[in-house]
Structure 1
Amino acid sequence: MVNDHLSLTFLGAARTVTGSKYLLTQGGHRRILVDAGMFQGPKRLREQNWEPFPTDPKTIDAIVLTHAHMDHVGYLPRLVKQGFRGPVYATEGTIRLAEIVLRDAAHLQQNEAEDARREGWSRHANPLPLYTTDDVEQTLPLFRAVEVHKPIDLDEGLSMRLWRAGHILGSVSIRMWTGADETTENAAVFSGDLGRHHHPVLADREVPMGAPSVLIESTYGDREHPAPGVAHEAFADLISRTIARGGNVLIPAFAVDRTEVVLLTLQELMEAGRIPKHVPIWANSPMGLAALDVYCDPAMAAEIGPEFAGRRFIHLPTLREARSKEDSIALNNPAQPSIIISSSGMATGGRVVHHLQHMLSDRKNSVVFTGFQAPGTRGRMLVDGATELKMYGRYVPVNAEILQDDEFSVHADASDLIDWLAEMNPRPTTVYCVHGEPDSAKALARRIHTELGILGVVPEQGEVVRL
């Protein structure tokens, strides 16, 4: 009899909200990696990106991606640099966005390593990037596009099927099983990052066929999103107040999905007369602009909500694009009060850090965070009330007004997650709460047990379980 039992090793996003990597081992020898995320946030996590990978990347047979955010795809070129040469399965939307994300990440890492070397603010004499643009170009040919809802043969009796997750364009949940019968109990579901019941732009999320073992994200496992009310009331009020006093509104936003949703929200607020209609809105993210083009591509129509499919849904008359480095530098001191959207969303790197360096000390300015801020990130420090922030080796006083608008979040909250599990058929027997800080993951595990009668487990980093 063929040994086809499945085991799982948690190599990332276990008791933390970053670095998603789950190694599925079939029959004790065949290895499939679900997601290849980069660790972000505190230094203790970022340093794990530089450690030897727990399994020789040459022995990984394939990688399957849930979506194109850095904490799910950002480690891919590093694995290729270390010898991985297998296929990388993902939806067409994820592949197109991942190409943008990875090229930008390599470019930023190379620039930051060079800046650190030239200006001497690194403790390393010759700081290096985690990977280069050459490593990314070696990675891209490995992508293999797969469709949602169709069974996909991963060889040696292992199969998978994908369902839309409603988080960002191309995002999916994954169900894997062994044997010819899809209803076999030798199966597992990986939620990926789940959207709320309804996304502002995308088609709604779906619930996969159930399995005995389910991995579910727990980013918001201990909290609920704000109750429906006047949409983005604090956000609109802050913009009007800041522009009136002659300041600028800086919005750190993830280039993929969040920039699109922020632009759509600003458009709706302007059309409703809730914020000034004359204010320039700068999209200072070449990656965000490239991602917007993908969202508006008619080829992606099946992924988009019916009200937006097949057309460019952003038509802001005051929208300006800052594509060059010179354009970005000019926005550190814009000619008139402006709204500036720049990545990254947690202010961990990219152009937004330069803007923070120049704008935080001025009381006229404001900074708006549009989603979850991981512990250890600059974004988390600011929303937690930091009075100074260190950037490029120097401290900057925080005098600008800070706001966190959780209405932008496209992560499912605790009740959304419970609803998703409750709809799953057949019902799971064990649910592993991942991709969340310890308190959040533990709170969700308790709710799963109390409300659904299912065993909820919060796995440790490096833990191995038999499925």
Structure 2
Amino acid sequence: MVGLTLTSLGGAGTVTGSKHLLQGGGKSLLMDCGLFQGIKNLREANWRPLPVAAGSIDAVVLTHAHLDHSGYLPRLVREGFAGRIYCTPATRAVAEIILRDSAHLQERDADFVNKKKATRHRPALPLYDTDDVEATLPRFVTRPPHQVFSPLPGVDVTFRGAGHILGAATVTVVWRHREDPARESGSATTVAFTGDLGRYDDPLMFDPEPIAHADVLVTESTYGDRRRETADPMATLARIVTETVERGGTVLIPAFAVGRTQVILYYLWQLLREGAIPEVPIYVDSPMAINAGELLRDFPGRYRLDPARTEEMFAIARYTREAEASKAISADRTPKIVLSASGMATGGRILHHLAAFAPDPRTTIVLAGYQAVGTRGRSLADGARFLRLYGEWVPVNAHVENPHLFSAHADGDELIRWMGGFGAAPRRSLIVHGEPEAAAALRLRMRRELGWEVDVAVANRVYPL
């Protein structure tokens, strides 16, 4: 293959499993390598072989470390990938935490279903294990933002700040066409990837940086069909906490360990400083969230707070690493605030907290971000009155709040605002990483408001660039 093409192997028509393959001139570069999450048929896609051999991929570039962008890497290595994985230094640090945790959870879940004999497979196996993660981590190579580097001959890549979470970047790929007789000698195609674009005026992350030029834009569309509510997130959180404590309940927040937990801690810190909420115990009950929070200390200057204010923020909470301490939180019926992973309630310690607190009408469950189809978080957002937890149906009598105020994703207005930073329209744009309604809505806005040529990417379709 000589002409440059893009194929979305995941993250097209859905919000998870991002894998976007650039191929040309005998070279192959994978942008992101995420796990599918949510409904069963998506999760099962993680087990199917990729349409291309893992060993044929020359290099991987990561926009950021969230599981739906990095979580398939150990499986890719297990399947024969032997190249390098390029990312920012902070993304490398966050990815190590996330991948180790992912392997641990998969090993634990496989052991659980094997003990319960609750599987058709004999035995059930994890998608990958800790050994696969250990084989993956040495393949990481870090590059700072704004430094041009070449993961492959004739391919130049630049990271720029995307906001969203620590280390997240947009990626510009300049692909030179020396071997393509159909193009002028020395010509190149510039392809820009948003990854997951962050919000403007986020309390912790800096605004996403603009990109001045690209021939092709590949953009996420997670909230492409939404305008963020204009309510003040701190005022909303203050109301929720105050009302819940007054009725003697627990505020339970399923929060993504990386990014979301730290933002909510920031809001709670500010509210306590202002005396706007009652002083009740605040727990961060997630070893991964604790580790992710500690990384902020290692990357000063990559987020808005200075070290002293960071320490003040962290000091408001109690941090539980041990399982017994986590169980004690569930057993305690006094008012408190609990932040625990996972953010979509797909696994982790949040499950036993939901089993303990969801039946209690004094509880408030706060959904703090995007909830993929097929997850318990999405069921709660859709008004489910029962949740399947540990093989049993647990009633949901708790109040459920889904304010859409704490997400780290740009909404439709912010995506359009960021695209306004281009000096000229890309000759082509492809929309990925969104449910069909969100992707379609963003496409219409880009065509109507910007006048750009836009397509919604279809999984496994080859797009000439």
TM-score, structure 2 normalization: 0.95
Whichever residue aligns with residue 48 of structure 1, its letter is A
How many angstroms apart in 2 are the aligned matches of 1:457 and 1:185? 22
3-state SS, counterpart of residue 301 of structure 2: helix
Deviations 1:123-179 (A, max 9, x none): 334211111011101000000011111111123211111111011111001111123
Deviations 1:172-195 (A, max 9, x none): 0111112399x9551211110001
Q: Is contact 1:36-1:76 (8 Å) kept?
A: yes
Name which of structure 1's ranges 5-14 and 135-144 shifts more when overlaid on structure 2. 5-14
**Aligned residue in 2 for 1:57:** 54
Mind listing any 5+ residue stretches in structure 2 that lack a counterpart? 179-185
For residues 28-39 of structure 1, the aligned pairs below 5 Å read 29-39=26-36
**Aligned residue in 1 for 2:409:** 411
1:154 lines up with 2:151 in the alignment: yes
How many angstroms apart in 1 are the aligned matches of 2:9 and 2:350? 30
Closer/same/farther in 2, CA of residues 185 and 350 from structure 1, 3 Å limit: same
- Out of 172, 176, 198, the position equivalent to 2:173 is 176
How many angstroms apart in 1 are the aligned matches of 2:269 and 2:221? 31
**Aligned residue in 2 for 1:289:** 290
- Out of 272, 275, 280, the position equivalent to 2:274 is 272
**Aligned residue in 2 for 1:432:** 430
- Out of 344, 347, 350, the position equivalent to 1:346 is 344
Whichever residue aligns with residue 171 of structure 1, its letter is A
Closer/same/farther in 2, CA of residues 230 and 420 from structure 1, 3 Å limit: closer
Closer/same/farther in 2, CA of residues 165 and 217 from structure 1, 3 Å limit: same
How many angstroms apart in 1 are the aligned matches of 2:104 and 2:314? 29
- Out of 35, 38, 42, the position equivalent to 1:41 is 38
**Aligned residue in 1 for 2:378:** 380
Closer/same/farther in 2, CA of residues 294 and 318 from structure 1, 3 Å limit: closer
Deviations 1:231-283 (A, max 9, x none): 33332222112222222111000000111101111111111222102x00010
Q: Is contact 2:346-2:375 (8 Å) kept?
A: yes
Closer/same/farther in 2, CA of residues 316 and 164 from structure 1, 3 Å limit: closer
**Aligned residue in 2 for 1:206:** 209
Whichever residue aligns with residue 261 of structure 1, its letter is V
Deviations 1:297-321 (A, max 9, x none): 2xx123112x435763443555111
Provide the alpha-carbon RMSD of the alignment.
Answer: 1.7
How many angstroms apart in 2 are the aligned matches of 1:232 and 1:223? 20
How many angstroms apart in 2 are the aligned matches of 1:77 and 1:290? 20
Closer/same/farther in 2, CA of residues 118 and 314 from structure 1, 3 Å limit: farther
Identity %: 44
CA drift at 1:198: 2.2
Q: Is contact 1:240-1:275 (8 Å) kept?
A: yes
**Aligned residue in 2 for 1:113:** 110
Q: Is contact 1:185-1:212 (8 Å) kept?
A: no
Deviations 1:188-211 (A, max 9, x none): 111100011222112221012321
Whichever residue aligns with residue 432 of structure 2, its letter is V
Q: Is contact 1:19-1:39 (8 Å) kept?
A: yes
Q: Is contact 2:269-2:316 (8 Å) kept?
A: no
- Out of 73, 83, 88, the position equivalent to 1:86 is 83
**Aligned residue in 2 for 1:196:** 199
Q: Is contact 1:253-1:341 (8 Å) kept?
A: yes
Q: Is contact 1:189-1:211 (8 Å) kept?
A: yes
**Aligned residue in 2 for 1:217:** 220
3-state SS, counterpart of residue 358 of structure 1: helix
1:144 lines up with 2:145 in the alignment: no
How many angstroms apart in 2 are the aligned matches of 1:345 and 1:168? 14
**Aligned residue in 2 for 1:402:** 400
Closer/same/farther in 2, CA of residues 110 and 412 from structure 1, 3 Å limit: same
Name which of structure 1's ranges 118-127 and 167-176 shifts more when overlaid on structure 2. 118-127
Name which of structure 1's ranges 237-246 and 137-146 shifts more when overlaid on structure 2. 237-246
3-state SS, counterpart of residue 85 of structure 1: coil
Deviations 1:325-365 (A, max 9, x none): 11111121126321110001010111111211221111111
Q: Is contact 2:221-2:433 (8 Å) kept?
A: yes
Q: Is contact 1:263-1:314 (8 Å) kept?
A: no
**Aligned residue in 2 for 1:226:** 229
How many angstroms apart in 2 are the aligned matches of 1:260 and 1:187? 35
How many angstroms apart in 1 are the aligned matches of 2:322 and 2:366? 23
How many angstroms apart in 1 are the aligned matches of 2:154 and 2:115? 53
CA drift at 1:120: 3.0
**Aligned residue in 2 for 1:252:** 254
**Aligned residue in 2 for 1:77:** 74
How many angstroms apart in 2 are the aligned matches of 1:350 and 1:283? 13
- Out of 98, 102, 112, the position equivalent to 1:101 is 98
Q: Is contact 2:249-2:333 (8 Å) kept?
A: no
Aligned residues: 458
How many angstroms apart in 1 are the aligned matches of 2:219 and 2:193? 6
How many angstroms apart in 2 are the aligned matches of 1:199 and 1:444? 22
CA drift at 1:409: 1.2
CA drift at 1:4: 5.4
**Aligned residue in 1 for 2:302:** 303
CA drift at 1:410: 1.5
How many angstroms apart in 2 are the aligned matches of 1:134 and 1:70? 18
3-state SS, counterpart of residue 406 of structure 1: coil
How many angstroms apart in 2 are the aligned matches of 1:67 and 1:184? 29
Whichever residue aligns with residue 256 of structure 2, its letter is F
Q: Is contact 2:252-2:366 (8 Å) kept?
A: yes
Mind listing any 5+ residue stretches in structure 1 that lack a counterpart? none
Deviations 1:369-408 (A, max 9, x none): 1111111110010011001111222111111110013111
**Aligned residue in 1 for 2:129:** 132
3-state SS, counterpart of residue 243 of structure 2: helix
Whichever residue aligns with residue 387 of structure 1, its letter is R
Closer/same/farther in 2, CA of residues 151 and 389 from structure 1, 3 Å limit: same
Whichever residue aligns with residue 347 of structure 1, its letter is A
3-state SS, counterpart of residue 135 of structure 1: helix
3-state SS, counterpart of residue 84 of structure 1: coil
Q: Is contact 1:264-1:313 (8 Å) kept?
A: no
Q: Is contact 1:232-1:407 (8 Å) kept?
A: no
How many angstroms apart in 2 are the aligned matches of 1:180 and 1:271? 57
How many angstroms apart in 2 are the aligned matches of 1:179 and 1:85? 23
Whichever residue aligns with residue 70 of structure 1, its letter is L
Whichever residue aligns with residue 287 of structure 1, its letter is M
**Aligned residue in 2 for 1:187:** 190
Deviations 1:384-443 (A, max 9, x none): 100111122211111111001311112111011111112112321211111100010011
